[in-house]
């Protein structure tokens, strides 16, 4: 597996998330850090955006998932984002999705922000989709 990656850190989007219905009624701003593992050698040689993963397209994909999703847990949202990114970007072998709730404990700053981080591979998402088809 290649050590190369395309990343976006510090992305902030409002999301309808929370255990209670009342909590989900009011959007909360979440912080997203995304790392998409992919081979960047071709893009490094060609200097062409066609040979890499476009940051803008990643941002749009995540924003669309967040906008369309109302869920209880960050874990569920992170899994949906990971699956969407692996589906949308076939050149990506693995994704790391980190989601934090910066407003939950505002006095702690970034280092004390609670959240989740998941890593999913193309093989995991492909296996899940295959089992759902059967």
Q: How far apart are CA 50 and CA 121, in angstroms?
A: 22
Q: Which residues sit opposite 98 in a β-bridge?
A: 33, 117
- Please determine, for residue 124, whether its predicted confidence score (pLDDT) is greater than 50: yes
- Please determine, for residue 4, whether its predicted confidence score (pLDDT) is greater than 90: yes
Backbone angles phi, psi at 14, to 5 degrees: -75, 140
Any idea what the CATH number is for the domain that residue 89 is in? 3.30.1130.10
Residue 44: predicted pLDDT: 94
Tally of structural domains, the chain: 1
Best mean pLDDT range from 46-50, 58-62, 120-124: 58-62
Residue 56: predicted pLDDT: 95
Q: How far apart are CA 5 and CA 127, in angstroms?
A: 23
Rounded mean pLDDT, 17-43: 93
Q: Which residues sit opposite 94 in a β-bridge?
A: 37, 121
Rounded mean pLDDT, 28-33: 95
What amino acid positions are annotated as catalytic residues?
101
Residue 126: predicted pLDDT: 66
Residue-wise pLDDT tens digits, 53-94: 999 999 999 999 999 999 999 999 999 999 999 999 999 999
Note down the domain range covering 113. 5-133
């Amino acid at each position: 597996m290649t050590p190369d990656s395309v990343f976006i850190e510090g992305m902030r989007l409002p999301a309808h998330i929370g255990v209670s219905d009342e909590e989900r009624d009011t959007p909360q701003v979440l912080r997203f850090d995304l790392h998409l593992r992919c081979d960047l050698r071709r893009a490094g040689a060609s200097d062409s955006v066609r040979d890499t993963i476009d940051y803008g397209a990643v941002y749009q994909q995540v924003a669309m998932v967040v906008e369309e999703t109302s869920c209880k847990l960050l874990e569920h949202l992170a899994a949906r984002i990971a699956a969407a990114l692996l589906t949308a970007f076939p050149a990506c072998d693995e994704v790391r999705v980190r989601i934090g709730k910066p407003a939950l404990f505002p006095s702690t700053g970034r280092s004390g922000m609670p959240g989740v981080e998941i890593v999913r591979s193309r093989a995991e998402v492909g296996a899940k989709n295959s089992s759902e088809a059967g």
